[in-house]
Amino acid sequence: MSRPVSFQHLAPEYVQRFEAYVPSKPDDELKKLFGCSHLFRLNNNENPLGPCPSAVQVIRDFVPSQASVYPSGDCWHLRQKLAEQHGMEPDQFLFGNGANEVIAFVIKAFCQKGDNIITADKTFAVYEWVAEFSGIEARRVPLKDYGFDDDEMIRSINDRTKILFVCNPNNPTGTYWDAGTLRGFLNRVNGRQIVVVDEAYCEYVENPDFPDSMAMIAEYPNLVVFRTFSKMHALAGLRIGYLAGSREAVDIIRRTCVVYSVNTLAQAAAFAVLNDNGEHVQHTRNLVRRQKQVLTEYLAGQGLPFLSGEGNFVMIRLPMSDSLAYRRLMMQGVMIRTMTGFRFPNWIRVTMALSDAMDAFMTGLESILT
Ligand SMILES: *Cc1c(COP(=O)(O)O)cnc(C)c1O
């Protein structure tokens, strides 16, 4: 017989209250569950073209004996390369097991009991989740016209606010702050808080008014920029992302980071991406632009409201529950993201993919709406 353990006593109240995120099951399980022979995953904003050819080659050439050796603990070569590319210092970059992990580094570095972070109510939820399961208050400012509300975020600051998280462009609405808006925001924050700009989708933005946030770090030492290799660069399965900031900010954040959390293969593939000629990025942008156009024309024809901004995804409002739509699309082998969890009930988010997947989605949508 097992001995009784008082988990209530052991776990902090904010951990007990927190509801764990449930990831989707693997494809083979889902196919059995929904009785479909094929599955198009349009739920995670992955790049259907896969990594650039040079990264593919690096992955193919991986020497198995390397698996037994620890990776570079601080992604040495990647940081050298980024420093060279951006005219910064290697110590201004910090890598993690996906951008998801660096979110936790920053919150751990700056927040203690009684502090708060500020973000939007309808954005990437990991900022508020990490805050909440760490016992830190997450203040959620409602979106304005589907975008981050700079004025209201400034008004929500109090003397315990440590970090402001801005998702730029925003997942899931596709809106973004231009350079002037970000600069105005940083001027008003005036160094009193850390401002995190999460640029997970920046490689999809082609408009020149998008901020050059890396260059702004020299002027704003409280600015921290997140980037990932998961979305445009198609290395989601290898888990690698990073943050950039002033030397002073990164010196603090580095104390809370997990060493060796980025594996050897991820580092090698990301290094190939940094040295790539950019052709693959252009191909991906072209694909996404084309598929958005096809899809949004279709949606307009169907009279369905949608949001199509920056990034490789489109949001659609359905005249039915998003979870019902999810189940019925799954039966046809199409997986989308339900948006109730993002506080957009009856909305879904769809990743732009190859034509077979997009056709399957549109056919599926038509069948569940009629
Ligand atoms: C996907 C995503 C991330 C996290 O990416 P990782 O795979 O953890 O690098 C971070 N922020 C936003 C807005 C995202 O959509």
pLDDT of residue 156: 98
Residue 171 CB contacts under 8 Å (≥ 6 apart), including other chains = 45, 123, 124, 200, 201, 311, 313
Q: How confident is the model at residue 137 (pLDDT cuts 50, 70, 90)?
A: very high
pTM: 0.96
pLDDT of residue 22: 87
Answer yes or no: is pLDDT of 370 > 90. Answer: no
Which among 342, 364, 295, 354 has a CA at the least distance from the CA of 129?
A: 342
pLDDT of residue 190: 97
Report which protein residue has its CA nearest ligand 1's atom 2: 200
Give the Cα separation of 237 and 96 in Å (integer): 14
Cα-to-centroid distance, 259 and ligand 1 (Å): 20
Q: Is 167 in the pocket of ligand 1 (CB under 6 A)?
A: yes
What is the token pair recorded at 42? 């349009």
C-alpha pair distances (Å), 130 with each of 115, 138, 208, 337: 13, 9, 33, 21
Condensed to tens digits (0 to 9), the pLDDT of residues 43-83 reads 999 999 999 999 999 999 999 999 999 999 999 999 999 99
Q: What is the average per-residue pLDDT within 13-31?
A: 92
Give the Cα separation of 179 and 187 in Å (integer): 12
Answer yes or no: is pLDDT of 1 > 80. Answer: no
Cα-to-centroid distance, 50 and ligand 1 (Å): 17
Share of the chain above pLDDT 90, in %: 95
Supply the mean pLDDT for the chain.
96
Cα-to-centroid distance, 6 and ligand 1 (Å): 35
Domains of the chain: 23-48+279-369 (3.90.1150.10), 53-274 (3.40.640.10)
Q: Is 230 in the pocket of ligand 1 (CB under 6 A)?
A: yes
Condensed to tens digits (0 to 9), the pLDDT of residues 348-367 reads 999 999 999 999 999 999 99
Looking from the CA of residue 241, the nearest atom of ligand 1 is 9
